[in-house]
Structure 1
Amino acid sequence: MDMKTFSKSSLIISTYNWPEALRLCLLSVRQQSVLPDEIIIADDGSTRHTADVIDDLRPLFPIRLIHVWQEDDGFQLSKIRNKAIATSSGDYIIQIDGDLVLHRHFVRDHLSMRRRGTFVAGSRVLMNRELSDKLLYLQKSRINPFQSGLGNFCNRFSIPWLSRYMADRYKPNDIYALRGCNMAFWRDDLVRVNGYNEVFHAWGREDNEIAVRLLNSGVRKRAIKFGGAVFHIFHREVDRGGCRENDLYLSDALLHKTVYCHLGIRQYLDIIEPAPLAEKEFAL
Protein backbone atom coordinates (compact mmCIF):
# COMPACT_ATOMS: atom_id res chain seq x y z
CA MET A 1 0.00 0.00 0.00
CA ASP A 2 1.39 3.38 -1.00
CA MET A 3 1.62 5.54 2.12
CA LYS A 4 1.91 8.67 -0.03
CA THR A 5 -1.73 8.36 -1.04
CA PHE A 6 -2.73 9.20 2.53
CA SER A 7 -2.80 12.45 4.44
CA LYS A 8 -0.22 13.44 7.04
CA SER A 9 0.31 11.60 10.31
CA SER A 10 1.36 12.79 13.76
CA LEU A 11 2.93 10.48 16.35
CA ILE A 12 2.09 11.68 19.88
CA ILE A 13 4.23 10.32 22.72
CA SER A 14 3.12 10.99 26.30
CA THR A 15 5.80 11.15 28.99
CA TYR A 16 6.47 12.12 32.58
CA ASN A 17 9.91 12.23 34.23
CA TRP A 18 11.51 9.15 32.70
CA PRO A 19 14.00 10.59 30.19
CA GLU A 20 15.97 7.33 29.82
CA ALA A 21 12.86 5.48 28.66
CA LEU A 22 11.81 8.35 26.40
CA ARG A 23 15.24 8.38 24.76
CA LEU A 24 14.98 4.66 24.03
CA CYS A 25 11.47 5.14 22.67
CA LEU A 26 12.61 7.95 20.37
CA LEU A 27 15.53 5.87 19.11
CA SER A 28 13.04 3.17 18.13
CA VAL A 29 10.98 5.81 16.31
CA ARG A 30 14.07 6.94 14.42
CA GLN A 31 14.56 3.38 13.15
CA GLN A 32 11.04 3.04 11.75
CA SER A 33 10.70 1.65 8.24
CA VAL A 34 8.12 4.39 7.62
CA LEU A 35 8.32 7.61 9.62
CA PRO A 36 5.35 9.75 10.67
CA ASP A 37 5.27 13.32 9.35
CA GLU A 38 5.92 14.74 12.81
CA ILE A 39 6.54 13.65 16.40
CA ILE A 40 4.96 15.46 19.34
CA ILE A 41 6.09 14.80 22.91
CA ALA A 42 3.14 15.31 25.28
CA ASP A 43 4.97 16.09 28.53
CA ASP A 44 2.88 16.16 31.72
CA GLY A 45 5.29 18.31 33.74
CA SER A 46 8.71 16.65 33.52
CA THR A 47 11.87 18.38 34.70
CA ARG A 48 14.48 19.87 32.38
CA HIS A 49 16.16 16.45 31.93
CA THR A 50 13.39 15.39 29.55
CA ALA A 51 13.74 18.57 27.49
CA ASP A 52 17.50 17.94 27.29
CA VAL A 53 16.92 14.47 25.83
CA ILE A 54 14.55 15.89 23.22
CA ASP A 55 16.98 18.68 22.32
CA ASP A 56 19.86 16.20 21.99
CA LEU A 57 17.93 13.89 19.68
CA ARG A 58 16.16 16.49 17.55
CA PRO A 59 19.07 16.88 15.06
CA LEU A 60 18.96 13.12 14.37
CA PHE A 61 15.42 13.25 12.95
CA PRO A 62 14.54 14.25 9.40
CA ILE A 63 11.06 15.24 10.65
CA ARG A 64 9.80 17.72 13.24
CA LEU A 65 10.21 16.77 16.90
CA ILE A 66 7.92 19.05 18.94
CA HIS A 67 7.86 19.33 22.74
CA VAL A 68 4.53 20.27 24.34
CA TRP A 69 4.95 20.77 28.10
CA GLN A 70 2.68 21.74 30.98
CA GLU A 71 3.41 22.38 34.64
CA ASP A 72 3.36 19.41 37.00
CA ASP A 73 -0.05 19.49 38.68
CA GLY A 74 -0.63 15.83 39.39
CA PHE A 75 -1.78 13.26 36.85
CA GLN A 76 -3.10 15.28 33.89
CA LEU A 77 -2.67 12.87 30.99
CA SER A 78 -5.96 13.79 29.31
CA LYS A 79 -5.06 17.48 29.37
CA ILE A 80 -1.57 17.09 27.89
CA ARG A 81 -2.86 14.74 25.19
CA ASN A 82 -5.47 17.32 24.24
CA LYS A 83 -2.80 20.01 24.01
CA ALA A 84 -0.61 17.77 21.87
CA ILE A 85 -3.49 16.94 19.54
CA ALA A 86 -4.35 20.65 19.26
CA THR A 87 -0.71 21.31 18.33
CA SER A 88 -0.60 18.55 15.71
CA SER A 89 -0.74 19.30 11.99
CA GLY A 90 -1.44 15.73 10.89
CA ASP A 91 -4.86 14.45 9.90
CA TYR A 92 -4.14 11.09 11.52
CA ILE A 93 -2.97 10.71 15.12
CA ILE A 94 -0.97 7.70 16.31
CA GLN A 95 -0.74 7.69 20.10
CA ILE A 96 1.80 5.92 22.29
CA ASP A 97 3.49 6.28 25.68
CA GLY A 98 7.14 7.12 26.22
CA ASP A 99 7.90 3.86 28.04
CA LEU A 100 7.63 1.76 24.89
CA VAL A 101 10.10 0.41 22.37
CA LEU A 102 8.48 0.18 18.94
CA HIS A 103 8.76 -2.66 16.44
CA ARG A 104 10.49 -1.23 13.35
CA HIS A 105 7.25 -1.54 11.32
CA PHE A 106 5.02 0.00 14.01
CA VAL A 107 4.17 3.19 12.11
CA ARG A 108 3.88 1.39 8.78
CA ASP A 109 1.43 -1.09 10.30
CA HIS A 110 -0.72 1.68 11.76
CA LEU A 111 -0.80 3.66 8.53
CA SER A 112 -1.89 0.59 6.60
CA MET A 113 -4.75 0.11 9.06
CA ARG A 114 -6.32 3.57 8.87
CA ARG A 115 -9.79 3.85 7.41
CA ARG A 116 -12.22 6.74 7.56
CA GLY A 117 -14.97 6.23 10.12
CA THR A 118 -12.78 4.07 12.37
CA PHE A 119 -10.23 4.29 15.17
CA VAL A 120 -7.62 1.66 15.95
CA ALA A 121 -6.81 -0.07 19.24
CA GLY A 122 -3.53 -1.91 19.67
CA SER A 123 -1.92 -4.05 22.35
CA ARG A 124 1.52 -4.42 23.89
CA VAL A 125 4.25 -6.86 24.86
CA LEU A 126 5.45 -6.76 28.46
CA MET A 127 9.19 -6.92 29.15
CA ASN A 128 10.54 -8.18 32.44
CA ARG A 129 12.77 -6.11 34.71
CA GLU A 130 16.03 -7.77 33.65
CA LEU A 131 15.51 -7.18 29.93
CA SER A 132 14.20 -3.66 30.53
CA ASP A 133 17.22 -2.69 32.63
CA LYS A 134 19.56 -4.08 29.98
CA LEU A 135 17.94 -2.16 27.14
CA LEU A 136 17.84 1.06 29.17
CA TYR A 137 21.52 0.71 30.09
CA LEU A 138 22.63 -0.06 26.53
CA GLN A 139 20.05 2.27 24.94
CA LYS A 140 19.40 -0.54 22.48
CA SER A 141 16.12 -0.09 20.63
CA ARG A 142 16.09 -3.24 18.47
CA ILE A 143 14.35 -6.21 20.08
CA ASN A 144 14.43 -9.80 18.89
CA PRO A 145 10.86 -11.09 19.30
CA PHE A 146 12.19 -14.53 20.28
CA GLN A 147 14.52 -13.34 23.04
CA SER A 148 13.90 -14.15 26.68
CA GLY A 149 12.24 -11.62 28.94
CA LEU A 150 9.20 -10.98 26.72
CA GLY A 151 5.58 -11.90 27.37
CA ASN A 152 2.47 -11.86 25.17
CA PHE A 153 3.93 -14.05 22.41
CA CYS A 154 1.33 -13.32 19.71
CA ASN A 155 1.71 -9.55 20.13
CA ARG A 156 5.40 -9.53 19.14
CA PHE A 157 5.11 -9.86 15.37
CA SER A 158 4.19 -7.90 12.27
CA ILE A 159 2.26 -10.18 9.89
CA PRO A 160 0.34 -7.86 7.53
CA TRP A 161 -2.06 -10.38 5.97
CA LEU A 162 -3.06 -11.74 9.38
CA SER A 163 -3.38 -8.24 10.77
CA ARG A 164 -5.77 -7.29 7.96
CA TYR A 165 -7.83 -10.42 8.62
CA MET A 166 -8.13 -9.72 12.36
CA ALA A 167 -8.80 -5.97 12.11
CA ASP A 168 -12.60 -6.10 12.07
CA ARG A 169 -12.99 -9.44 13.82
CA TYR A 170 -11.17 -9.01 17.14
CA LYS A 171 -13.56 -7.72 19.84
CA PRO A 172 -15.01 -4.86 17.75
CA ASN A 173 -17.40 -3.67 20.48
CA ASP A 174 -15.27 -4.38 23.55
CA ILE A 175 -14.22 -1.03 25.04
CA TYR A 176 -11.88 -2.80 27.47
CA ALA A 177 -9.89 -4.49 24.70
CA LEU A 178 -7.69 -1.45 24.13
CA ARG A 179 -4.78 0.43 25.67
CA GLY A 180 -4.14 4.15 25.48
CA CYS A 181 -0.45 3.44 24.95
CA ASN A 182 -1.21 2.10 21.46
CA MET A 183 -4.13 3.73 19.66
CA ALA A 184 -4.77 5.76 16.52
CA PHE A 185 -7.50 8.17 15.44
CA TRP A 186 -8.51 10.62 12.75
CA ARG A 187 -7.95 14.08 14.18
CA ASP A 188 -11.33 15.40 13.11
CA ASP A 189 -13.08 12.50 14.89
CA LEU A 190 -11.27 13.47 18.10
CA VAL A 191 -12.29 17.10 17.71
CA ARG A 192 -15.90 16.08 17.04
CA VAL A 193 -16.17 14.36 20.45
CA ASN A 194 -14.06 17.11 22.10
CA GLY A 195 -10.98 14.95 22.62
CA TYR A 196 -10.02 13.51 25.97
CA ASN A 197 -12.20 14.21 28.99
CA GLU A 198 -10.17 16.28 31.44
CA VAL A 199 -12.27 15.32 34.45
CA PHE A 200 -9.88 12.36 34.72
CA HIS A 201 -7.20 13.33 37.24
CA ALA A 202 -5.82 9.88 38.08
CA TRP A 203 -4.63 6.80 36.24
CA GLY A 204 -7.07 4.74 34.22
CA ARG A 205 -10.19 4.65 32.05
CA GLU A 206 -9.63 7.89 30.11
CA ASP A 207 -8.82 5.75 27.06
CA ASN A 208 -11.92 3.57 27.50
CA GLU A 209 -14.13 6.64 27.98
CA ILE A 210 -12.98 8.33 24.77
CA ALA A 211 -13.54 5.02 22.96
CA VAL A 212 -17.14 4.97 24.26
CA ARG A 213 -17.79 8.49 22.95
CA LEU A 214 -16.23 7.69 19.57
CA LEU A 215 -18.37 4.56 19.26
CA ASN A 216 -21.47 6.54 20.28
CA SER A 217 -20.65 9.07 17.54
CA GLY A 218 -20.66 6.32 14.92
CA VAL A 219 -16.90 5.72 14.64
CA ARG A 220 -16.09 2.01 14.53
CA LYS A 221 -13.29 0.35 16.45
CA ARG A 222 -10.69 -1.74 14.62
CA ALA A 223 -8.00 -3.85 16.26
CA ILE A 224 -4.38 -3.99 15.23
CA LYS A 225 -3.26 -7.52 16.04
CA PHE A 226 -0.13 -9.09 14.51
CA GLY A 227 0.98 -5.55 13.75
CA GLY A 228 1.73 -2.26 15.47
CA ALA A 229 3.84 -4.12 18.04
CA VAL A 230 5.16 -2.24 21.07
CA PHE A 231 7.38 -3.52 23.86
CA HIS A 232 6.60 -2.10 27.29
CA ILE A 233 9.53 -1.24 29.54
CA PHE A 234 9.09 -2.67 33.04
CA HIS A 235 8.25 -0.25 35.84
CA ARG A 236 6.34 -0.27 39.08
CA GLU A 237 2.59 0.02 38.73
CA VAL A 238 1.27 3.54 39.10
CA ASP A 239 -1.06 4.55 41.94
CA ARG A 240 -4.54 3.34 41.01
CA GLY A 241 -6.31 5.09 43.84
CA GLY A 242 -8.44 7.14 41.47
CA CYS A 243 -9.77 4.14 39.54
CA ARG A 244 -13.09 3.99 41.38
CA GLU A 245 -13.94 7.60 40.53
CA ASN A 246 -12.75 7.08 36.96
CA ASP A 247 -14.93 3.98 36.67
CA LEU A 248 -17.89 6.19 37.55
CA TYR A 249 -17.04 8.62 34.74
CA LEU A 250 -16.85 5.69 32.33
CA SER A 251 -20.13 4.22 33.57
CA ASP A 252 -21.79 7.61 33.10
CA ALA A 253 -20.64 7.79 29.46
CA LEU A 254 -21.97 4.28 28.84
CA LEU A 255 -25.28 4.93 30.57
CA HIS A 256 -26.03 8.21 28.85
CA LYS A 257 -24.55 7.24 25.47
CA THR A 258 -22.34 10.32 25.67
CA VAL A 259 -20.69 11.68 22.54
CA TYR A 260 -19.30 15.03 23.65
CA CYS A 261 -17.42 15.87 26.86
CA HIS A 262 -17.61 19.40 28.24
CA LEU A 263 -13.98 19.78 29.32
CA GLY A 264 -11.91 18.75 26.32
CA ILE A 265 -9.77 19.80 23.40
CA ARG A 266 -11.82 22.69 22.04
CA GLN A 267 -10.59 25.04 24.77
CA TYR A 268 -7.12 24.86 23.13
CA LEU A 269 -8.06 25.00 19.47
CA ASP A 270 -8.54 28.77 19.51
CA ILE A 271 -5.21 29.47 21.23
CA ILE A 272 -2.95 26.83 19.67
CA GLU A 273 -2.32 26.82 15.95
CA PRO A 274 -0.98 23.62 14.36
CA ALA A 275 2.81 23.72 14.53
CA PRO A 276 4.49 25.42 11.53
CA LEU A 277 7.45 23.97 9.69
CA ALA A 278 9.90 25.23 12.31
CA GLU A 279 10.13 23.26 15.55
CA LYS A 280 7.95 24.66 18.27
CA GLU A 281 7.54 24.23 22.01
CA PHE A 282 4.58 25.15 24.16
CA ALA A 283 4.22 25.60 27.89
CA LEU A 284 0.57 26.10 28.73
Structure 2
Amino acid sequence: MSETAAMRISVAVITYNWPEALQRVLAALAAQSELPYEVIVTDDGSQPATRELLERIARDYPVRLVHLWQPDDGARMSRARNRAIAAAQGDYIILLDGDMVAERHFVADHRSFARSGCFVQGSRVLTNAALTRRMLEGGLVMPGFFSRGIERRRHTLRLPALARWYARPGTKRRGIKSCNMAFWRDDLLRVNGFNEAMTGWGREDTELAARAFHAGLLRRELRFSALATHLYHRTRKHIVDNPNDRIVDDTRARQLIRCEFGLDQHLSEFATAAVDLRVVMRDHGISQSS
Protein backbone atom coordinates (compact mmCIF):
# COMPACT_ATOMS: atom_id res chain seq x y z
CA MET A 1 0.00 0.00 0.00
CA SER A 2 1.38 3.45 -0.95
CA GLU A 3 1.77 6.19 1.64
CA THR A 4 -0.89 8.28 -0.09
CA ALA A 5 -3.39 5.41 -0.09
CA ALA A 6 -3.03 4.96 3.67
CA MET A 7 -2.85 8.60 4.75
CA ARG A 8 -5.65 10.37 6.59
CA ILE A 9 -6.62 13.76 5.15
CA SER A 10 -7.69 16.71 7.29
CA VAL A 11 -9.31 19.73 5.63
CA ALA A 12 -8.70 22.95 7.59
CA VAL A 13 -11.26 25.62 6.65
CA ILE A 14 -10.63 29.15 7.92
CA THR A 15 -13.69 31.37 8.37
CA TYR A 16 -14.76 34.75 9.67
CA ASN A 17 -18.35 36.00 9.87
CA TRP A 18 -19.72 34.57 6.62
CA PRO A 19 -21.82 31.55 7.62
CA GLU A 20 -23.75 31.57 4.32
CA ALA A 21 -20.53 30.90 2.40
CA LEU A 22 -19.27 28.44 5.00
CA GLN A 23 -22.48 26.43 4.67
CA ARG A 24 -21.80 25.95 0.92
CA VAL A 25 -18.16 25.08 1.58
CA LEU A 26 -19.07 22.43 4.15
CA ALA A 27 -21.85 21.00 1.99
CA ALA A 28 -19.39 20.60 -0.89
CA LEU A 29 -16.93 18.78 1.37
CA ALA A 30 -19.72 16.49 2.60
CA ALA A 31 -20.54 15.59 -1.02
CA GLN A 32 -17.02 14.56 -2.06
CA SER A 33 -16.42 11.43 -4.11
CA GLU A 34 -13.81 10.63 -1.45
CA LEU A 35 -14.53 12.03 1.98
CA PRO A 36 -11.71 13.45 4.10
CA TYR A 37 -11.02 11.98 7.52
CA GLU A 38 -12.11 15.23 9.18
CA VAL A 39 -13.07 18.84 8.55
CA ILE A 40 -11.72 21.43 10.98
CA VAL A 41 -13.39 24.85 10.88
CA THR A 42 -10.95 27.31 12.39
CA ASP A 43 -12.74 30.51 13.24
CA ASP A 44 -10.99 33.87 13.60
CA GLY A 45 -13.58 35.34 15.95
CA SER A 46 -16.96 35.03 14.21
CA GLN A 47 -20.22 36.01 15.83
CA PRO A 48 -22.52 33.22 17.15
CA ALA A 49 -24.21 32.62 13.77
CA THR A 50 -21.23 30.53 12.65
CA ARG A 51 -21.39 28.26 15.68
CA GLU A 52 -25.14 27.96 15.24
CA LEU A 53 -24.65 26.85 11.64
CA LEU A 54 -22.14 24.21 12.66
CA GLU A 55 -24.41 22.88 15.39
CA ARG A 56 -27.29 22.59 12.90
CA ILE A 57 -25.33 20.54 10.40
CA ALA A 58 -23.11 18.56 12.77
CA ARG A 59 -25.49 15.76 13.72
CA ASP A 60 -25.76 14.50 10.13
CA TYR A 61 -22.32 15.46 8.90
CA PRO A 62 -20.56 12.46 7.31
CA VAL A 63 -17.09 12.97 8.84
CA ARG A 64 -15.53 14.23 12.05
CA LEU A 65 -16.33 17.96 12.34
CA VAL A 66 -14.35 20.26 14.64
CA HIS A 67 -14.94 23.94 15.43
CA LEU A 68 -12.02 25.95 16.80
CA TRP A 69 -12.84 29.54 17.79
CA GLN A 70 -10.53 32.32 18.90
CA PRO A 71 -11.48 35.85 20.04
CA ASP A 72 -11.76 38.54 17.38
CA ASP A 73 -8.59 40.55 17.94
CA GLY A 74 -7.94 41.72 14.42
CA ALA A 75 -7.07 39.45 11.52
CA ARG A 76 -5.06 36.57 12.98
CA MET A 77 -5.16 34.07 10.14
CA SER A 78 -1.76 32.60 10.98
CA ARG A 79 -2.83 31.78 14.52
CA ALA A 80 -6.16 30.35 13.39
CA ARG A 81 -4.54 28.10 10.80
CA ASN A 82 -1.85 26.97 13.25
CA ARG A 83 -4.49 25.89 15.74
CA ALA A 84 -6.15 23.80 13.03
CA ILE A 85 -2.83 22.19 12.11
CA ALA A 86 -2.12 21.46 15.77
CA ALA A 87 -5.57 19.91 16.20
CA ALA A 88 -5.47 17.89 12.97
CA GLN A 89 -5.46 14.13 13.31
CA GLY A 90 -4.68 13.60 9.66
CA ASP A 91 -1.29 12.94 8.09
CA TYR A 92 -1.97 15.39 5.28
CA ILE A 93 -3.65 18.78 5.62
CA ILE A 94 -5.56 20.63 2.91
CA LEU A 95 -5.84 24.34 3.65
CA LEU A 96 -9.07 25.83 2.33
CA ASP A 97 -10.66 29.23 2.78
CA GLY A 98 -14.22 29.52 4.01
CA ASP A 99 -15.30 31.04 0.69
CA MET A 100 -13.91 28.23 -1.53
CA VAL A 101 -16.50 25.72 -2.78
CA ALA A 102 -14.79 22.46 -3.75
CA GLU A 103 -15.64 20.40 -6.83
CA ARG A 104 -16.72 16.86 -5.92
CA HIS A 105 -13.33 15.24 -6.68
CA PHE A 106 -11.36 17.88 -4.77
CA VAL A 107 -10.19 15.65 -1.89
CA ALA A 108 -9.51 12.64 -4.14
CA ASP A 109 -7.44 14.82 -6.46
CA HIS A 110 -5.39 16.19 -3.57
CA ARG A 111 -4.66 12.64 -2.43
CA SER A 112 -3.62 11.69 -5.94
CA PHE A 113 -1.07 14.52 -6.12
CA ALA A 114 0.41 14.27 -2.62
CA ARG A 115 4.12 13.34 -2.69
CA SER A 116 6.82 13.13 -0.03
CA GLY A 117 9.10 16.16 -0.02
CA CYS A 118 6.50 18.38 -1.70
CA PHE A 119 3.63 20.70 -0.93
CA VAL A 120 0.81 21.37 -3.35
CA GLN A 121 -0.46 24.71 -4.63
CA GLY A 122 -4.00 24.56 -6.01
CA SER A 123 -5.94 27.04 -8.10
CA ARG A 124 -9.40 28.64 -8.07
CA VAL A 125 -12.17 29.98 -10.27
CA LEU A 126 -13.18 33.56 -9.48
CA THR A 127 -16.85 34.54 -9.46
CA ASN A 128 -18.55 37.91 -9.67
CA ALA A 129 -21.12 39.17 -7.17
CA ALA A 130 -24.14 38.04 -9.20
CA LEU A 131 -22.95 34.45 -9.63
CA THR A 132 -21.93 34.27 -5.98
CA ARG A 133 -25.42 35.37 -4.97
CA ARG A 134 -26.94 32.62 -7.14
CA MET A 135 -24.61 30.00 -5.67
CA LEU A 136 -25.46 31.06 -2.13
CA GLU A 137 -29.18 31.06 -2.80
CA GLY A 138 -29.40 28.04 -5.09
CA GLY A 139 -27.09 25.45 -3.57
CA LEU A 140 -24.12 23.59 -4.96
CA VAL A 141 -24.36 24.37 -8.66
CA MET A 142 -20.72 24.67 -9.70
CA PRO A 143 -19.85 26.93 -12.64
CA GLY A 144 -18.68 25.33 -15.87
CA PHE A 145 -16.33 26.56 -18.58
CA PHE A 146 -19.10 28.49 -20.37
CA SER A 147 -20.75 29.92 -17.26
CA ARG A 148 -21.28 33.65 -17.00
CA GLY A 149 -19.74 35.63 -14.18
CA ILE A 150 -16.41 33.86 -13.83
CA GLU A 151 -12.74 34.66 -14.34
CA ARG A 152 -9.90 32.18 -14.88
CA ARG A 153 -12.40 29.86 -16.49
CA ARG A 154 -9.64 27.39 -17.41
CA HIS A 155 -9.76 26.40 -13.74
CA THR A 156 -13.21 24.87 -14.28
CA LEU A 157 -11.61 22.10 -16.38
CA ARG A 158 -10.68 18.83 -14.69
CA LEU A 159 -8.09 17.18 -16.95
CA PRO A 160 -6.02 14.69 -14.94
CA ALA A 161 -3.46 13.93 -17.66
CA LEU A 162 -2.68 17.62 -18.17
CA ALA A 163 -2.68 18.12 -14.40
CA ARG A 164 0.11 15.56 -14.05
CA TRP A 165 2.23 17.50 -16.56
CA TYR A 166 1.82 20.75 -14.61
CA ALA A 167 2.56 19.08 -11.27
CA ARG A 168 6.25 18.43 -11.84
CA PRO A 169 8.06 19.48 -8.62
CA GLY A 170 9.80 22.85 -8.69
CA THR A 171 10.57 26.02 -6.79
CA LYS A 172 8.18 28.52 -8.37
CA ARG A 173 7.66 31.41 -5.95
CA ARG A 174 4.81 33.26 -7.63
CA GLY A 175 1.14 32.57 -7.11
CA ILE A 176 1.28 31.25 -3.55
CA LYS A 177 -2.19 31.33 -1.96
CA SER A 178 -3.35 29.36 1.04
CA CYS A 179 -6.98 29.32 -0.07
CA ASN A 180 -6.23 25.95 -1.75
CA MET A 181 -2.96 24.48 -0.57
CA ALA A 182 -1.81 21.19 0.99
CA PHE A 183 1.09 19.99 3.15
CA TRP A 184 2.13 16.89 5.00
CA ARG A 185 1.51 17.67 8.66
CA ASP A 186 5.06 16.59 9.58
CA ASP A 187 6.46 19.16 7.15
CA LEU A 188 4.37 21.89 8.77
CA LEU A 189 5.68 20.82 12.17
CA ARG A 190 9.23 21.00 10.85
CA VAL A 191 8.89 24.64 9.73
CA ASN A 192 6.68 25.54 12.73
CA GLY A 193 3.62 26.37 10.65
CA PHE A 194 2.49 29.89 9.87
CA ASN A 195 4.33 32.88 11.31
CA GLU A 196 2.10 34.47 13.95
CA ALA A 197 4.17 37.65 13.91
CA MET A 198 2.20 38.31 10.72
CA THR A 199 -1.24 39.78 11.37
CA GLY A 200 -3.59 41.79 9.21
CA TRP A 201 -4.13 40.93 5.58
CA GLY A 202 -1.91 38.71 3.52
CA ARG A 203 1.57 37.36 2.81
CA GLU A 204 1.57 34.77 5.59
CA ASP A 205 1.21 32.04 2.96
CA THR A 206 4.12 33.43 0.92
CA GLU A 207 6.32 33.51 4.00
CA LEU A 208 5.41 29.92 4.89
CA ALA A 209 6.24 28.79 1.37
CA ALA A 210 9.62 30.57 1.56
CA ARG A 211 10.54 28.62 4.70
CA ALA A 212 9.29 25.41 3.09
CA PHE A 213 11.65 25.99 0.16
CA HIS A 214 14.52 26.71 2.56
CA ALA A 215 13.75 23.37 4.26
CA GLY A 216 14.15 21.61 0.92
CA LEU A 217 10.49 21.10 0.03
CA LEU A 218 9.37 21.45 -3.58
CA ARG A 219 6.11 22.82 -4.92
CA ARG A 220 3.70 20.86 -7.10
CA GLU A 221 1.41 23.10 -9.15
CA LEU A 222 -2.08 21.60 -9.09
CA ARG A 223 -3.98 22.84 -12.13
CA PHE A 224 -6.81 21.10 -13.96
CA SER A 225 -7.46 19.10 -10.79
CA ALA A 226 -8.64 19.71 -7.18
CA LEU A 227 -10.94 22.43 -8.54
CA ALA A 228 -12.59 25.02 -6.32
CA THR A 229 -14.72 28.11 -6.87
CA HIS A 230 -14.03 31.31 -4.95
CA LEU A 231 -17.12 33.19 -3.85
CA TYR A 232 -16.88 36.90 -4.54
CA HIS A 233 -16.20 39.43 -1.81
CA ARG A 234 -14.34 42.69 -1.59
CA THR A 235 -10.59 42.24 -1.29
CA ARG A 236 -7.87 44.06 0.59
CA LYS A 237 -5.20 42.76 -1.77
CA HIS A 238 -3.76 46.11 -2.78
CA ILE A 239 -2.45 47.29 0.57
CA VAL A 240 0.33 49.86 0.27
CA ASP A 241 3.39 49.30 2.48
CA ASN A 242 2.14 46.09 4.05
CA PRO A 243 4.34 45.41 7.11
CA ASN A 244 4.07 41.70 6.40
CA ASP A 245 6.17 42.24 3.27
CA ARG A 246 9.12 43.14 5.47
CA ILE A 247 8.79 39.88 7.37
CA VAL A 248 8.79 37.97 4.09
CA ASP A 249 11.93 39.84 3.00
CA ASP A 250 13.66 39.05 6.30
CA THR A 251 12.74 35.36 6.05
CA ARG A 252 14.25 35.19 2.59
CA ALA A 253 17.34 37.18 3.46
CA ARG A 254 18.15 34.97 6.46
CA GLN A 255 17.05 31.74 4.75
CA LEU A 256 14.88 30.90 7.75
CA ILE A 257 13.28 27.47 8.05
CA ARG A 258 11.41 27.85 11.34
CA CYS A 259 9.52 30.89 12.57
CA GLU A 260 9.80 31.92 16.20
CA PHE A 261 6.08 32.37 16.90
CA GLY A 262 4.30 29.49 15.27
CA LEU A 263 2.57 26.17 15.48
CA ASP A 264 4.46 24.79 18.48
CA GLN A 265 2.61 27.20 20.80
CA HIS A 266 -0.63 25.24 20.26
CA LEU A 267 0.45 21.61 20.35
CA SER A 268 -0.16 21.14 24.07
CA GLU A 269 -3.71 22.51 23.75
CA PHE A 270 -4.56 19.64 21.41
CA ALA A 271 -2.60 16.86 23.08
CA THR A 272 -6.09 15.52 23.71
CA ALA A 273 -8.15 15.41 20.53
CA ALA A 274 -10.44 18.35 19.85
CA VAL A 275 -14.14 17.63 20.30
CA ASP A 276 -16.10 16.21 17.38
CA LEU A 277 -19.24 18.36 17.10
CA ARG A 278 -21.24 15.40 15.81
CA VAL A 279 -20.80 13.66 19.15
CA VAL A 280 -21.68 16.82 21.08
CA MET A 281 -24.90 17.36 19.15
CA ARG A 282 -25.96 13.71 19.26
CA ASP A 283 -25.42 13.62 23.02
CA HIS A 284 -27.29 16.90 23.32
CA GLY A 285 -30.19 15.41 21.39
CA ILE A 286 -30.29 12.37 23.66
CA SER A 287 -30.28 14.52 26.80
CA GLN A 288 -33.09 16.69 25.44
CA SER A 289 -35.31 13.71 24.69
CA SER A 290 -34.72 11.92 27.97
TM-score, normalising length from structure 2?
A: 0.91
- CA–CA distance in structure 2, aligned partners of residues 47 and 239 of structure 1: 24
SS in structure 2 of the partner of residue 93 of structure 1: strand
Query: Does the aligned pair in 2 maintain the 1:121–1:183 contact within 8 Å?
Result: yes
Counterpart of 2:260 (choices 254, 259, 262) is 262
CA offset digits 1:229-264 (Å, max 9, x no partner):
111111111375475211111111111111010000
Identity of aligned residues (%): 39
SS in structure 1 of the partner of residue 247 of structure 2: helix
- CA–CA distance in structure 1, aligned partners of residues 95 and 237 of structure 2: 22
- CA–CA distance in structure 1, aligned partners of residues 78 and 275 of structure 2: 26
Task: Show the counterpart of 2:288.
Answer: none
Task: In structure 2, give the amino acid aligned to 1:179.
Answer: K
Counterpart of 1:175 (choices 151, 173, 176) is 173
**1:176 CA displacement:** 2.2
- Structure 1 gaps of 5+ residues are none
SS in structure 1 of the partner of residue 96 of structure 2: strand
- CA–CA distance in structure 2, aligned partners of residues 74 and 38 of structure 1: 27
Task: Show the counterpart of 2:84.
Answer: 84
Task: In structure 1, give the amino acid aligned to 2:11.
Answer: L
Task: Show the counterpart of 1:117.
Answer: 117
Task: Show the counterpart of 1:190.
Answer: 188
**1:79 CA displacement:** 0.2
Task: Show the counterpart of 1:162.
Answer: 162
- Structure 2 gaps of 5+ residues are 281-290
Q: Please give the residue correspondences for 1:28-39 in structure 2 after superposition, counting only pairs within 5 Å.
A: 28-39=28-39
Deviates more, 1:270-279 or 1:204-213: 270-279
Task: Show the counterpart of 1:236.
Answer: 234
- CA–CA distance in structure 2, aligned partners of residues 165 and 57 of structure 1: 39
**1:23 CA displacement:** 0.4
Change (3 A) 1:276 1:45: closer
Query: Does the aligned pair in 2 maintain the 1:3–1:111 contact within 8 Å?
Result: no
Task: Show the counterpart of 1:222.
Answer: 220
User: Which is richer in helix?
Assistant: 2
- CA–CA distance in structure 1, aligned partners of residues 20 and 144 of structure 2: 20
Q: Please give the residue correspondences for 1:67-146 in structure 2 after superposition, counting only pairs within 5 Å.
A: 67-146=67-146
Change (3 A) 1:4 1:192: closer
Moved over 6 A (4+): 1-4
Deviates more, 1:231-240 or 1:115-124: 231-240
Q: Please give the residue correspondences for 1:48-67 in structure 2 after superposition, counting only pairs within 5 Å.
A: 48-67=48-67
CA offset digits 1:37-60 (Å, max 9, x no partner):
000001000011001111111123
- CA–CA distance in structure 1, aligned partners of residues 33 and 3 of structure 2: 12
RMSD of aligned alpha carbons = 2.0
Query: Does the aligned pair in 2 maintain the 1:86–1:274 contact within 8 Å?
Result: no
Query: Does the aligned pair in 2 maintain the 1:96–1:180 contact within 8 Å?
Result: yes
How many matched pairs? 279
Q: For the pair shown, which has the larger CA radius of gyration, 1 or 2?
A: 2
Task: Show the counterpart of 1:246.
Answer: 244
**1:168 CA displacement:** 1.1
Task: In structure 2, give the amino acid aligned to 1:249.
Answer: I
Query: Does the aligned pair in 1 maintain the 2:144–2:156 contact within 8 Å?
Result: no
**1:275 CA displacement:** 2.4
CA offset digits 1:103-138 (Å, max 9, x no partner):
111111111000111100111110011100111122
TM-score, normalising length from structure 1?
A: 0.92
